[in-house]
């Protein structure tokens, strides 16, 4: 644990040459913006400084008796935002399991540079990673971790099976959460900035990103202020990816049916309580706590987190809106702690 913590600290050092090279390559290949990478790294630095590695191990109940030593865990990392697979990779390594990472071709350098440093410290566990799943042919992993949609799961399972990358009875931890909901009762400078960060960071592409806002006020009441705050955010954090033409189509549709909306060319905020299906879109609706509960139930496992500013919503687990894009190290994708899950399964 100490070795891993120290390695992570070293890796995160701003003057770490290997990390700097990984950042430069990622940015120069247009994979992610420098601002989004720096944000992610800065969150991780904060996590480490707060002693969250040890705290995570404690929370997960890791001990000499309860761990995942000797087990093979294959992680299929997504690449929708920089270092999106980092938490899973670190969790697997902390658990003591052998880590086999299929890195995303959309984010191969950043996580790779961390894993290379972990490899070099000579821990007992196996650390292997690649961008080609075929490299894990006949791996016979005990556990598979990946994020998927209903449509993609069978295809992934079939491919894993075909390659013999996992045992016949391997355990699958599949994450299906796609977006988060924010509930706002107040509107002030802090809430506004937190909301903008939660919606726009990483182009809104993470499952912790807010794609649905329930507020006790209408979009019209805050439209101008919100628009200015978004422009300011983009000035400091230009949006890396541009939306597909479907977004303008959706804007035009809203105009057609006279749905209230805030059109920002590269992003759309629209007043509706429908499932947010399109990238670069946030749906907002006026409502109270009951509305939040209703939408959470309706969208089911697609919802990662429900954020509030100060309020608690009875019957729902909530998180602070301000932490949407800077979560603690042990945040639970789909409500499951990866360390706990693979350790309890295997021990």
Partner 1 sequence: MMSSDLIFDATVSFEYKCLRVFEFQRSNNPVYERFCDALEIHRPQSISEIPLLPIQAFKDAEVLTNFENSKYKIQNLEYFQSSGTSGMQRSRHYLRDPEIYRRSIIEGMQQFYDLDDFVIWAYTPGYNENPNSSLIWMLNTLIGREESGLSRFLELGKPLDENEIRKVTDAGKKLMVFGAAFGLLDLVEMKNVQLPADSMVMETGGMKTYRREMNREELHRRLAKGFGISLSKIHSEYGMTELLSQAYNPGGYWFGTVPWMEVSTRNPKDPMEEVRTGEEGLIGVIDLANLYSCSFILTGDKGVQVGGGKFQVLGRWNPRNLRGCNFLIDQD
Considering the complex, state which of residue 122 and residue 256 has its C-beta at the smaller distance from partner 1.
256
Considering the complex, state which of residue 79 and residue 96 has its C-beta at the smaller distance from partner 1.
79
Q: How far is the CB of 145 from partner 1 (least distance, A)?
A: 10
Considering the complex, state which of residue 7 and residue 296 has its C-beta at the smaller distance from partner 1.
296
For binding to partner 1 (CB under 8 A), which residues are involved? 76-81, 84, 102, 104-106, 133, 146-152, 155-156, 159, 175, 177-179, 204-207, 209, 211, 244-246, 248-249, 251-253, 255-259, 276-279, 302, 304, 333
Considering the complex, state which of residue 67 and residue 261 has its C-beta at the smaller distance from partner 1.
261
For residues 67 and 316, the answer to whether their CB atoms sit within 8 Å is no
Considering the complex, state which of residue 47 and residue 176 has its C-beta at the smaller distance from partner 1.
176
CA–CA gap between residue 191 and residue 273 (Å, rounded) = 21
Considering the complex, state which of residue 8 and residue 84 has its C-beta at the smaller distance from partner 1.
84
Q: How far is the CB of 302 from partner 1 (least distance, A)?
A: 7
Q: How far is the CB of 264 from partner 1 (least distance, A)?
A: 14
Considering the complex, state which of residue 16 and residue 128 has its C-beta at the smaller distance from partner 1.
128
Considering the complex, state which of residue 187 and residue 263 has its C-beta at the smaller distance from partner 1.
263
Q: How far is the CB of 120 from partner 1 (least distance, A)?
A: 26
* Unique residue bearing structure tokens 């919100």: 226
Q: How far is the CB of 272 from partner 1 (least distance, A)?
A: 9
Q: How far is the CB of 187 from partner 1 (least distance, A)?
A: 25
For residues 209 and 278, the answer to whether their CB atoms sit within 8 Å is no
What string of H, E and C letters represents the secondary structure of the chain?
Answer: CHHHHHHHHHHHCCCCHHHHHHHHHHHHCCCCCHHHHHHHHHHHHHHHHCCHHHHHHHHCCCCCCCCCCCCEEEEECCCCCCCCCHHHHHHHHHHCCEEEEECCCCCCCHHHHHHHHHHHCCCCCCEEEECCHHHHCCCCEEEEEEECCCCCHHHHHHHHHHHCCEEEEEEEEEECCCEEEEEECCCCHHHHHHHHHHHHHHHHCCCCCEEEEEECCCHHHHHHHHHHHHHHHHHHCCCCCCCCCHHHHHHHHHHHHCCCEEECCCCEEEECCCCCCCCCEEEEEECCHHHHHHHHHHHHHHEEEEEECCCCCCCCCCEEHHHCCCCCCCCCHHHCCHHHHHHHHHC
Q: How far is the CB of 133 from partner 1 (least distance, A)?
A: 8
Q: How far is the CB of 259 from partner 1 (least distance, A)?
A: 7
């Amino acid at each position: 644990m100490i070795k891993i913590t120290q390695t992570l600290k070293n890796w995160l050092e701003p003057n770490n040459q290997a990390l700097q090279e990984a950042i430069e390559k990622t940015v120069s290949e247009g994979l992610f913006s420098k601002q989004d990478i720096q944000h992610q790294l800065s969150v991780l630095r904060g996590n480490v400084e707060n002693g969250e590695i040890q705290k995570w191990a404690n929370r997960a109940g890791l001990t000499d008796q309860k761990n995942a030593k000797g087990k093979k865990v294959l992680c299929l990392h997504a690449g929708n935002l920089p270092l999106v697979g980092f938490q899973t990779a670190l969790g697997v390594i902390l658990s003591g399991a052998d880590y086999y990472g299929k890195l995303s071709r959309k984010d191969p350098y950043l996580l790779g540079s961390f894993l290379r440093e972990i490899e070099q410290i000579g821990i007992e566990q196996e650390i292997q990673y690649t961008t080609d799943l075929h490299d894990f042919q006949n791996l016979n992993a005990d556990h598979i971790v990946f994020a998927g949609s209903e449509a993609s799961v069978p295809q992934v399972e079939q491919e894993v099976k075909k390659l013999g990358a996992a045992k016949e009875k391997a355990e699958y931890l599949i994450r299906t959460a796609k977006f988060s909901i924010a509930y706002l009762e107040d509107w002030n400078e802090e809430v506004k900035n937190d909301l903008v960060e939660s919606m726009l960071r990483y182009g809104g592409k993470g499952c912790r990103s807010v794609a649905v806002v329930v507020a006790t006020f209408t979009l019209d009441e805050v439209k101008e202020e919100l628009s200015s705050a978004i422009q300011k955010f983009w000035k400091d954090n230009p949006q890396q990816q541009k939306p597909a033409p479907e977004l303008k189509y959706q804007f035009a549709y809203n105009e057609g049916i006279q749905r209230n909306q805030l059109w920002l060319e590269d992003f759309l905020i629209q007043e509706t309580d429908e499932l947010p299906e399109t990238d670069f879109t946030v749906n907002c609706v006026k409502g109270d706590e009951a509305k939040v509960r209703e939408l959470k139930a309706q969208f089911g496992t697609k919802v990662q987190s429900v954020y509030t500013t100060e309020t608690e919503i009875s019957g729902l687990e909530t998180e602070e809106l301000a932490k949407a894009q800077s979560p603690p190290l042990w945040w639970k994708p789909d409500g499951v702690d990866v360390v706990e899950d693979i350790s309890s399964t295997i021990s």
